[in-house]
Amino acid sequence: MTALTVVMAQVNPLVGDVEGNTSLVIEKVEQAKALYNADVVLFPELVLTGYPPEDLLLRPSLTTRINSALDRMKLELPRDVYAVVGLPLTEQGHLYNSAVVLYAGAELAHYHKQKLPNFQVFDEKRYFTPGKRKATVLDIEGISFGLTICEDVWHPEPVLRAVEAGAQCILNLNASPFHLNKSEERYQLIEKQCREHDVGLLYVNQVGGQDELVFDGASMAIDSLGNKVAQGPFYEEALIPLTVKAEHDSLEISGELHEGVTHHESAYQALVTGVRDYVNKNRFKGVVLGLSGGIDSALTLAVAVDALGPERVEAVMMPFKYTSQMSLHDAEAEANTLGVRYSVIPIEQPYNSFMTMLESEFEGTQRDTTEENLQARCRGVLLMAISNKKGYLVLTTGNKSEMAVGYSTLYGDMAGGFDVLKDVPKTLVYELSRYRNTLSEVIPDRVITRPPSAELAPDQKDEDSLPPYDVLDEILRLYIEEDVSADGIVAKGFNKDEVYRVVRLVDLNEYKRRQAPIGIRITQRGFGKDRRYPITSGWHIGE
């Protein structure tokens, strides 16, 4: 019987840092050898560039940097370990999304990704040529391993070709971004492939945040019966050792099964990971946010503290005459509970100064949302000033429901660098707030239970101008994530006037979303890479 130790290296590369990522690969192979006496170490897709590298792949120095990285790995990697590394390779003028196998200072084999995703957040056909329809199978100490990359296993052909070429176990390199329920989707897909083709599969995934994307790790090993025999941790870097045994036609894979995560735990950890990596990878000293006493800013504050620690978080309450005593009290309580720096800067003085300057311009007009927006813009100016002075990133606090219908102010509450809740519907904001309080109570209960309000006018409530959030969020989900038409949503039993009004607001506010800060994607379609609608359009609502 042949037995190998295969280690899946679930790592968090920095996009564009080819030299640093090469050092990471070398370091992890050395660790895997020292800790587990690894025979094979498997890395994620495009680990040398990080994922997604986007138009860095078009830079003229790409090939030079990758070749230098390959030369360095051949010299510095332990010579008795097989390293399977994801990287972009140029051959005969074509760029491929590839995997190479390095051993004893030489490149033993390489494989080019055959199925290039070009949907949602993926844009690989912009950069890569698909690999030819052939398998790469490598014999390592008597066990045959077939190479595949990410999207390849979502289609039957690449796995089938590898099995027909003699593969007993598929090595699958991934940079698979998170969205809600994604881990289960991956397992169901891989389980089906393994059973149908009678083959084991080792699935290694990247971890960490990259701009709006979060990678949850959760690397796994599946045997030929479709059983999950090993599971790596979620949202953590890890070396995941596996034992792969082969005797005649029989293959056995074993390893440790880490606990899974719940729906809410997974969403919350995605937000924490996204904030931590965006702030740290972009080298901000810390973050600052406006703390209103409402639920959105309360949840944002909790995420920021869990991501960075209280010493790197500042919260600012900026009250106006419409701000309730309840909001003042709750904001202070949240800040004190979480131990962050907290200050109160009233905005009445700058607001009045602006109104005085605009007096002649506003003469003969009635009060409307202009005055409400001016309050938000005063707050935005203050937060950006603190950001400039202290080197802090401004976190905005708008949720997906508000971003969808334009319930936000350009250069006001939208002023900032990163929107933590940008892809979190309001109903999920409530659920995540309750979930966070199960860990330790940091959000006062009445912040969760009282009717939400922007407090920009007397006795203002969100539902004065919007449908109830449970109704609104389902309409938005159908329209934005499922691409159901307005009339199709009405046919599902929703009020036609409400549906048409919501859909019209979504379409009208594309111009705002184009100017909004980026935020963490946790649904199957967020307001970012995977939703590209024109601002100027004659599209009719019912279509």
Is 45 designated active site?
yes
CB 239 within 8 A of CB 36: yes
The predicted pLDDT at position 455 comes to 63
Q: Is 176 annotated as a binding residue?
A: yes
Q: How far apart are CA 95 and CA 425, in angstroms?
A: 39
pLDDT digits (tens, 9 = 90+) for 347-373: 999 999 999 999 999 999 999 999 999
Task: Kindly give the residue spans of alpha helices, DSSP state H, lying in 77-143.
Answer: none
Mean confidence (pLDDT) of the chain: 93
Q: Is 293 annotated as a binding residue?
A: yes
Token pair, residue 418, equals 């990163």
Cα R_g (the chain), whole angstroms: 26
Residue 248 region by backbone torsions, left for phi larger than 0, else alpha for psi between -120 and 50, else beta: left
pLDDT digits (tens, 9 = 90+) for 110-147: 999 999 988 788 889 898 999 988 899 999 998 999 99
Q: How far apart are CA 502 and CA 497, in angstroms?
A: 9
pLDDT digits (tens, 9 = 90+) for 444-490: 999 999 887 666 666 656 666 788 999 999 999 999 999 999 999 99
What pairs with residue 243 in β-bridges? 5, 254
**Burial, 101: exposed, middle or buried (Cβ in 10 Å; 0-12, 13-18, 19+)?**
buried
Q: How far apart are CA 443 and CA 303, in angstroms?
A: 11
pLDDT digits (tens, 9 = 90+) for 205-241: 999 999 999 999 999 999 999 999 999 999 999 999 9
Q: How far apart are CA 9 and CA 103, in angstroms?
A: 17
pLDDT digits (tens, 9 = 90+) for 169-197: 999 999 999 999 999 999 999 999 999 99
What is the DSSP secondary-structure string of 138-205? EEETTEEEEEEEGGGGGSHHHHHHHHHTT-SEEEEEE--B--TTHHHHHHHHHHHHHHHHT-EEEEEE
In 3D space, the residue among 278, 270, 44 whose CA is nearest the CA of residue 179 turns out to be: 270
- Mean pLDDT score, 303-307: 98
Q: Is 297 annotated as a binding residue?
A: yes
Q: Is 364 annotated as a binding residue?
A: no
Q: Is 125 annotated as a binding residue?
A: no
Q: Is 291 annotated as a binding residue?
A: yes
Sign of the four-CA dihedral 369, 375, 378, 384? negative
For domain 265-466, the question of CATH label 3.40.1190.20 is answered with no
Q: What are phi and psi of 407, to 5 degrees?
A: -85, 65
pLDDT digits (tens, 9 = 90+) for 316-352: 999 999 888 999 999 999 999 999 999 999 999 999 9
CATH topology of domain 2-261: Nitrilase/N-carbamoyl-D-aminoacid amidohydrolase (3.60.110)
CB 400 within 8 A of CB 423: yes
Q: What is the greatest pairwise CA distance in the chain?
A: 90
Could you tell me the residue ranges of all domains in the chain? 2-261, 265-466
Q: How far apart are CA 117 and CA 188, in angstroms?
A: 19
Catalytic residue among 28, 115, 124, 150: 150
Catalytic residue among 28, 33, 113, 529: 113
Percent of the chain with pLDDT over 90: 86
Q: Is 182 annotated as a binding residue?
A: yes
